[in-house]
Amino acid sequence: MSALLLRDAGWEVQGLFLSNWEEDDDDAYCTAAQDFQDARAVAAELGIVLHRANFAAEYRERVFAHFLREHRAGRTPNPDVLCNREIKFGVALAWARRLGAAHFATGHYARLETAADGPALCKARDSAKDQSYFLHSVPRSELAAAVMPLGELHKSEVRELARRAGLPVFDKPDSTGICFIGERPFREFLARYVPRSPGPIESSDGEPLGTHEGLAFYTLGQRAGLHIGGRAGRSQAPWYVAAKDAARNALIVVQAHDHPLLESRELTTGTWHWLATPRRECFRGAVKVRYRQSDQAANLEPRPDGSLRIVFDEPQRAVTPGQYAVAYEGQRCLGGGVIESRVSCGQLPAAA
């Protein structure tokens, strides 16, 4: 639809299909072959040239290697953020420029506006589909070349416009899951690259409850896959991952969805990537610590090393190191940074 809207607006449009992941031919979870056929069908319908480029090597080096390092460290990365920065608005944009492209259009649900200090990344009109969270680390110089025609539309409108235009993908299901993993079982996939390292599962008061497969295979707030049966003297309420004790290779779980160990009022990021003039003093803003989370009011304190300390008005559940904190001022995205640490509202016993 981005290509159609731009073509009809008088732009000279060409298509680019990216191959970022290579799997065995019999991999039932890889949809790249079908996706390429869909792209060819759309290009034929629109009468535009379709190029194809393979960035699998760059993806493994710049995105997947980081993904594995983070998991081996017991953290939970978000590779889609790096994919946008390193691949789509990195090597793919450079490739398009070598072909003579002046602009780089995508189907992201986000808006680009011109502000006094340069290009401004803003939320999409469709708040349920807004993807500005995933674009926060793209350099502003690359955003200056970007065009995002779907940012002003709701997804339902996009599908209807595509149907009316006769595009063969108008009812194609939304893509979900991590970009290179798709719908496959995540733990099974990760185990091909990260060795299992079993250790104890313990309650917050130190009671042994079972054995985990390795801290890399779990994330804070996780409920499924713990395989903890009923315990004498305890309720039948579900268990949630609340902490990882890397020193003892222990997984700490709790039985309340909003247990204090799962909640945090404060976090610290790594180096902050600004999409606005950098702030030097503490300021008020809205922050998301995960995609599709509603805006959370907070005080943001820039630090001399380039990181940010963020203190929320209300406790946040399952703030997860390795994920991203992204800040907003109204509709504008101010940038973001990797969550390096959090301050839990609860405290483990000293022995743990």
Tokens of 344: 């839990």
| 221 contacts 241 by C-beta, under 8 angstroms | yes
Q: Domain span at residue 270? A: 262-344
- Tell me, yes or no, if the pTM score tops 0.95: no
Q: Give me the catalytic one of 30, 122, 179, 333.
A: 179
| 17 contacts 31 by C-beta, under 8 angstroms | no
The answer to whether residue 136 is domain-embedded is yes
Tokens of 29: 């979870």
Closest CA to 13 of 21, 3, 23, 22: 3
pLDDT along the chain (352 residues), means of 10: 96 95 62 87 95 95 96 94 96 96 97 94 96 97 96 96 91 70 77 95 94 96 88 82 95 94 97 97 98 96 98 97 97 98 84 46
Give the tens place of pLDDT for each residue, 92-150. Answer: 999 999 999 999 999 999 999 999 999 999 999 999 999 999 999 999 999 999 999 99
Could you give phi then psi for residue 200, rounded to 5 degrees? -75, 145
Closest CA to 252 of 266, 240, 265: 240
Q: Give me the catalytic one of 83, 122, 282, 333.
A: 83
Number of domains in the chain: 3
CA distance 7 to 194: 45
pLDDT score of 177? 59
| 340 contacts 307 by C-beta, under 8 angstroms | yes
pLDDT score of 349? 67
CA distance 352 to 350: 5
Shared domain for 305 and 278, answered yes or no, is yes
Longest dimension (CA), the chain: 71
pLDDT score of 350? 61
For CA atoms 211, 220, 338, 187, give the dihedral sign. Answer: positive
| CATH code, domain with 250 | 2.30.30.280
Shared domain for 157 and 11, answered yes or no, is yes
Shared domain for 159 and 266, answered yes or no, is no
Told to judge if 83 belongs to the known catalytic residues of this protein, a careful annotator would answer: yes
Closest CA to 96 of 20, 34, 42, 18: 18
The answer to whether residue 175 is domain-embedded is no
CA distance 228 to 210: 6
Shared domain for 6 and 150, answered yes or no, is yes
| CATH code, domain with 269 | 2.40.30.10
